[in-house]
Every structure is written in structure tokens, then in C-alpha cells.
Structure 1
Amino acid sequence: MDKTSKVEFRNVGQSYFPQSRVECHYTISPKHSWASNDWIGLFKVAVGWTSLRDYHTFVWALAPSGYQEGTSVNCCVNFQASYLPGPSEDAFQFVYVDRKGAVCAGSSQFTFCAPKPLEELVTLEGGAHGEEEGADLLVVVPRAELLQSRLEECLRERSDLLQAKDAAEKAKGKERALRERAKEHWDKLRRELEDTVSELKEKLLQNQEKISAMEKEQQGALSSQMTMRAEIDNLLAESQKSQQQISDLEDNIKALTLRGAEREAELERMRERIKKMAALKREDEEDRKSLQEKLVQTEDELRSLSAEFQQLRSSLAQRDTQALQLRDTITTLTNKLHAAQRRELESEASLTELQGLQERLVSSERVVESLKGEMSAMAAKRDKIQAEVHQARLQVAQLTLQLADTNLALREGRATWAQERETLQQSVQLLAFDVQTERDRLEKLTTEIQRKEEWLQEEKMEREKTERLRAECGRVTRVRLYPALVQVQLSEARRELQELKASLRVAQKEKEQLYLEKQSSGEETALLLPDHTETIQRYPQHKPPLRSPLFPR
């Protein structure tokens, strides 16, 4: 019973009436994982049940429609009166069994007893159905049934009140959210209105200040014209200086592009040299491999010749021993011949033997001479092969030295190429920085020129106002010469303004052309720069109960 805390039975009475249905109230804790095949059984305690098959009756343990696993919820099931036991003194209890057949909780004990005839009956007064309204009727009902019906009514009212409370809380939350939204909206509108009012006040103050300033500026129109001319002259001088700087920068860019093209050509030449050196290196390696193969072949031939030479030496030693033996035999034979001559009566057999031995000696001497010639030829051949091997080794050493020199030159060329590339990148970056600064300066100059144009337009408006005022004054005073002078001055001022506008347009066009040329030069310099560049928890559906919960579905 280690799972008794997962489910708890509530409001279990001490006795129930078998003639009415029994309600079983229980609470599922968050520790229990509810399933649709959990069930609640009615077991007799007096018998001392030992198996889940000893239940009297059972119902499926239900859960509310909005139940979520891991939360605590109150539930209720009904045991129908037709399945309840009869009245007796035997004790019963409710037992909660989960889908695995494990007992999760047990209720307190209770009994089923019949109501007493006088104490448990209640008389009710009420109108009979189908009769007149004036006819009253006395109904005798068991107290338990009456209490059960009242309890059901109270529970229904409680559930209705809880639903109404939930609906009221939801409506209250919605109204609160709407109220907060409306409050935020009104606050926002109030702030906007305050901002607009403050802006209008500021604009009014600014307009008043502008009016006062315009009045002051009308008085100092002539002095402002002089200062304007001086500023325009300064701007023209600055534009000329900027044009000179731009032309210098263009010359620098052209020189850098030429240097970059020369560096690229040098890099191409270095690459071609590297390719040629690599081809020479491959040819040297192939020659070295062929020479090594020849060296191996000559060494093998030397080994075979040395072996043959050893064989010939051994054969020559054998022949020498044979010649010595023959000489000994010849000396002995000569001694015998002398003895035979002395005796003067030697047999013919000894003479023939002597002649054969002499022939053998001559032939052996000839063989020795031929072997000596072969030995000398072999020695000359061996000396020649050793000289060729020595020359091949010298050639291999020279080729290795040349290969080392070419590798060293290649590394030096790569180092110089890397240094030149780094210097070229730095110079290009500096050039890009200078171009950017010149662009910023040109933008500042254009903004200043636009500001001056706006100021000139304002001055023009003010002059037109002054012209109107002076014209009105001339009509009032009827002076003829003063309006003529004023018109002459105004015409001169207009002409000067038109000339200034024309010069400003020309300067703007020149700046646009310079800006376009700088953009094109900036794109060319950019080409020289290096390239860096994601449970809906499905509860088991409720199925209709089987005849017994102990058999699997």
C-alpha cells in the first residue's frame, strides 16, 4: 500500500441505504497518473478479501473533461441501487485500483442497513400530480432518501454557483483587460495631445523668434550680402582645393593601379618561373631515378662480375697447381729422359708418353695465357664500371645541390611575393581610407552648399518683401528717383543671385562627376583587395466498461 497517498476518498458515511444509489467522492493527487481503465470496487471487509476478484460490484473511475495530468482534481462516481448488497451488519469499503491492477487507496468501512420504520420516515405535504391544486397529499419518504435528494440539490446548486463564479471571474478579467487597454489608449492619446500642444507652443515661439529675427535681418541685409559673397568666395576656393586634391588622388590611384598591374605581371612571371622550376625539378627527379636505377643495375653487374672473377681466380689457382704439378712431372721426366739417354736404350713407350706430356704442357700453357687475358679484360671492365658508378654518384650529388638551390630560390621568391602582396594591400587600404575621407569631406561641402542655398532663398524672399514695402513707400511718398535706384539695386542683386545659382549648379555637377569617378576608382581598388568573406498530451479516450476490470481490453 505504498500508493495510498495518490488517491483519497472523501465524505464516506458510516452507513448507506441499499434502496438508493450511493455516491463515492474521491480526490486524485498530482502524483497519480489517471487512466480510463482505472476502477473503484466495493469489497466486503468481514470476509477479509485477498484478491481483486472478490469485489461485490465496481464502476469505472471517471475524471472531469478538462482534467490535466499532474494536477489535483475532485471526482465523483455513482453506485446504482440495483447492484448494491442487501441490508446487513457486514462492513464494506471502497477500493481504488489503477490500470496495472495495483491498489492505490481504500476508504473507511461502512455498512448497508434498512431504515427504521418510525424514526427514519418523514412525512411531506405536497400537491398531487394530475389532481386539482386545492387537494393536498401526505407523502411518507425515508429520511435518508430525503437527505440524499437535498444533498444532490445542494451539490447541483454548488456546481452551478462554481460555474457562475468562474464565468464571473472570466468576465471580470476580460473587463479588467479592456479597462486597462482603454486606460492605456487614453493615456497615449493624452500624451500625444500634450506633445502636440507643446510642439505647437514651441513652433509659435519659434515663429515669433523668426519674425523678430527677420525684422533684424531686414535691417542688416546689405551687411549679410557682403558676408555671403565672402563665404561664397571661400566655398569656391575650398571647392577648387578639393578639386585639386581629387585630381591628386586620381593621379595617386592611377599610379597605384599601374604599380598593382606591374606587381601582377611580376607575380605572373614568378609563377611561370616556379612552374619552370617545378618542371626542372620533376625532370631532375626523373633523371635521378633513372641514374639510381642504372646504379642499381651496375651494382648488380659488379656483384655478378665479382662472383665470376672469384670463380676465375679459383679456376686459375687450380690451373696453377696443375701447371706446377706438370712442371714437377716434366722435371722428373727430363731426369728420366737423361737417364734414358744415358742408358741409350729406352723403350718407345716412354718416348710417346713424353711427347704426350709435352703436348699437354703446351696446351696448359696456352690455356693459362688465355685465362690471364680474360682476367685482364675483366679487371679493365670492372675499373670502367667503377668509374661510371663514380661519375653517376657525382651527377646525383650535383642534381641534389641544384634541387636544393632551386628550392631555396623558390622559398625566397614566395617570401618576397608575400611581402610585396602585404605592402600592396596596405597601400590599397590607405588609399581606400583617403578616398572615404574625401567622400565625407565632399558630403560636408554639399550640405554646406545646400544650407547656403536655403539661406539665399530666404534672403530672396526677404528682399522681395522689402521690395514690396519700398514700392508701397514710393507710392505713398511719390518719389520718382528713389524707386528707380531701388529697382536698379534689386536687379543687380537678382543678377548676382542668378550667377551664384549657376555657379552652384556647376559646382554640384562637378562634384557629382567626381563622386562617380571616385566610386569607379573605389570599385577598382576593391578588386585589388583580398577576398575575406527548431506535446499535446493525448489522454486515453473513455471506453465503455467491460463485464470485469480484471481482464485486458
Structure 2
Amino acid sequence: MTSFQEVPLQTSNFAHVIFQNVAKSYLPNAHLECHYTLTPYIHPHPKDWVGIFKVGWSTAHDYYTFSWSPMPEHYVEGLTVNCVLAFQGYYLPNDDGEFYQFCYVTHKGEIRGASTPFQFRAASPVEELLTMEDEGNSDMLVVTTKAGLLELKIEKTMKEKELLKLTAVLEKETAQLREQVGRMERELNQEKERCDQLQAEQKDLTEVTQITHKAIEKETELDSLKDKLRKAQQEREQLECQLKTEKDEKELYKVHLKNTETENTKLMSEIGRLQLCLAEKENLQRTFLLTTSTEQVQATRQEVVFLAKELSDAVNVRDRTMADLHTARLENEKVKKQLADAVAELKLNAMKKDQDKTDTLEHELRREVEDLKLRLQMAADHYKEKFKECQRLQKQINKLSDQSANNNNVFTKNIGSQQKVNDASVNTDPAASASTVDVKPSSPSAETDFDIITKGQVCEMTKEIADKTEKYNKCKQLLQDEKTKCNKYADELAKMELKWKEQVKIAENVKLELAEVQDNYKLQLAEKDKEISVLTSHLENLSREKELTRTLENQAERKMEDGADGAFYPDEIQRPPVRVLS
């Protein structure tokens, strides 16, 4: 532990703020109040603060925690002021064995006051206990804690302080009111004297009226002061009555405590008497039970025989129900297997039928579509070839017509030139004339041959064109027929799709019927399960009855043993006692 001589500050500064009622130790996590007095040597500032420093600090920055110092109300320089500051419990140090002290630090960082050292220690339960005598002088020691005793003392002191404060305030008010009353009476006497003087003199009526008004006001003030004094006296009387009532309540509590103690003694004596009565009663019951035990043993034996018969019957019923349950379970499993097989077969058959129908329909439709596509392709190719041949023949016809026209022009030109030659050579040479004569008959024959050839070619070409046109028309008709067939096949496809959809609907209906069959089967299974649960509950009841019979047999044996020993317990007897015939 460090000493206070290590502090490098003046000792005179520490007397400017004096810390009051500093305890030797405080609780670590409890609310802490710090009381201190500001001397006339210090001027408080809003930025002043009080810190908790570990002993051995060197500067104002070595604080553990701090709180701002509140500015005192109605502060007057040159006077001492008492202040209170609160530290929250969660900011305080733990129980570490170190010593701490309060220090007052100004806004300039100067330490102007320090308290005596203290520690933060957790209170042990033994240290907090105190023994005190009862206030009622009943030779009793009361064990309480220090905290409880301090709280009671604090409450009493607080109440006494409040009452003293109220009485002091009331006494001050009454003294002030009495002074005011005396002063007002003196003033009133003075005013009366003055009024007398004024009345005697009778100088000024206005002054007299003013004085009378003032006297009336003073009288009203005096009446109000008297009322205040009465109220203060009434409040004082009420406080005295409260004190008396509290004292009376305290005495009543003491009387009540004494009464409870006397009642406790009476109850203890009654409890002893009742225990004696119970012992006598138990003895009487045992003697009575000894007489009635033999009859009860015989009755229990008869009951045991009857219950054994019932148990054998129940065992037989249980065996029969177990056999029925086993057969029902086997039948249930068989029905389940049959239903599952039937459902699977129905599903497989329906799926196979639908698959076969759809496969055959798809195969036929695809084959027909392929045939139609081939026919359409062949017809289109044939149509293209015929169209190309027609164009080629048309070109040949145009060429032949052009050639025939050119040949006719050449032939007419040759004929004209031949005529001119003949006209010129008529008179010159007979041999030439003979030659010309020989030529003339040859030209018309060549012309006719050419015309015949061209006509024949034209006829052949026209025939070919006619044939081609007929073939074209036939191909066109075939194409039209194929289109109509395609439309028919498309209609048939649509019909087949409708049939397929109908088949799908039929399959869905079959599925729904299968689902209904499954639901019915499930309902049957649930009913079987219910029957099984009923049988199991019946078996459980039988087993319980068997256990009851066993317990009854055990009880009977115990009663027999108790009867043999001569010890009976009234709690085990459930039947009323049978009267013994004299």
C-alpha cells in the first residue's frame, strides 16, 4: 500500500473541498453517493468533476472513473455549500483489495480536495448479521442484517427529519405570523390613533376616508393571517395525531405478537391431546380389526376363486380373438396382394392396348403420308418435265415457222430471177432455152416437196404438242386427284386423332375407376385395422384384468399373512365391518 507523501501537490489545496461521511468500504456493484463541502476558497465551475483514484496516483489523468460535479443552486461566493454526487454501480471497481479515494478536480485540471482512503469489498453474510433486543422488552434477541438495521434507522431518521423540518417550518411560519399580527396590531393601533387624531382635527375628509380604507385592508390582512395561523395549527395537530397513531399501531403489533404466542402454546397443548386420542383410537381399531379379519379373509378367498374363473374365461376369449386377428391379418394381406396384382394387370393391359393402337395408327399414318409425299414428288417432277418439253417444242415450232418464212422468201426471189433470165435468153441461144425449159419444171416440184416436208413437220409438231398438252392435262388432273386424296387423308388423320383422344379419355376413366377401387380397398383396410385395434384393446383389457386378479391374490396373501401376524393397517381395509352375531 502506497503512502500519501508521494503526491507532488501542495497539501493546502486538498482542504478546499472536504469529503463528508466517507466509509471504510463500499459494495462493488452498488449505487454510491459522495457527500462533499465546497469551502469559500474554491469557486465551482460546470466543468469541475469528482473522480475515484487509486491510492498512489500522480496526476489528474490517473482516475478510475469520474462524474461531473453539479453546480449548486443559489450559490453565493464566500459561503460553504454542501453537495451530493452519485456514481452508478456498473462504473465502480471490483473487489480487488486496492485502496481508493475521492478527488475533486477543477476544469483547469487542479486537484483541490481528496478524501480518506477506502476499499470496494463484497459483504459476507456473517459480517452483515447483528443481534439486537426487541423493543417490546420481551427478553428476545432479534437477528437482522446490517443493511436491514441501517434501512430501519434511515427510515426512522428520515421520518423524524421530515417531522422536525415540518415542525420547524410551521414554527417559523407561526412566529412570522405572530410577528405580522403584532406588527399589524401595532400598525392598527397607530392607524386608530391617527384616525382619532384626524377625527379630532377634522381637517380633511379625504384623508379620513383613505385611512379608514387602509384600516379595513389591514383588518382583512389580519383575518387572512389568523386563518393561516389556524391552518398551520391544524396541520401541526394532524402530524401529532399521525405520530400517536403510529405509536398505537406499534403497541397493537406488540399485543398481537403476544396473543399469537399464547395461541401457539394453546395449539401445542391441543396437538399433544389429539395425539393421545389418536393413539387410543388406533388401539381400539386394531382390537376391532382382529375380530373382523377372519371374515374378510374368507370373503377374499371366495373373490379370488371367482376372479380365477373369470381370468380363465378371459384367457380363452383372448386366445380366440388372437386366432381371429391372425386369420383377419392373413386375409387382409391376401386381399392386398390380389388387389395389387389386379391393379397392376389392369394397368399393364390398358397400357399395352393403348400402345399397340397408337403404334399401329402411327405406322399406317406414316406409311400413307410417305406414299402421298412420293406421289406428290413424282407428279411434280413429271409436271416439270412436261412443262420443259412443251417449252422446247414451242421453241422448235417458232424456229420452223421462221425457217419456212425465210424459205418462202428465198423461193420467190429465185423465181423472179429465173423469169428475168428466161426473158433475156429467148432470142440468143436455143440450148440455153432448152436448159431453162428444163429448169422450170424442176422448181415447182422442189417447192412442193419443201412445203410437204414442212407441213409434215408442223403436223408432227402439232401432234406432239397435242400429246404433250394431253399429258400435261392428265398430270394436272392426277395432281388434283392427289391433292384431294391428301385432303381426305388429312381428314382421316383428324378423325384418327379424335379417336385417339377418345381412347385417352377412356384410359383416364379406367384410371379413375382404378383409383376408386383403390380407395374402397383402403377403406376396407382401415375397417380391418379398426377391428384389429379393437381386438388389441380387448386383449389389453384382458391382460389388465389378469394383472388385477394377480394383485388381488397378492393382497389376499398379504392379508392372510397380516392376520397370522396380528398386525392390521386401517388404510388397507376397504370393506365395512361385518356385525358379529352374539
Taking structure 1 as the reference length, what is the TM-score of the superposition? 0.39
For the pair shown, the structure with the greater C-alpha radius of gyration is: 2
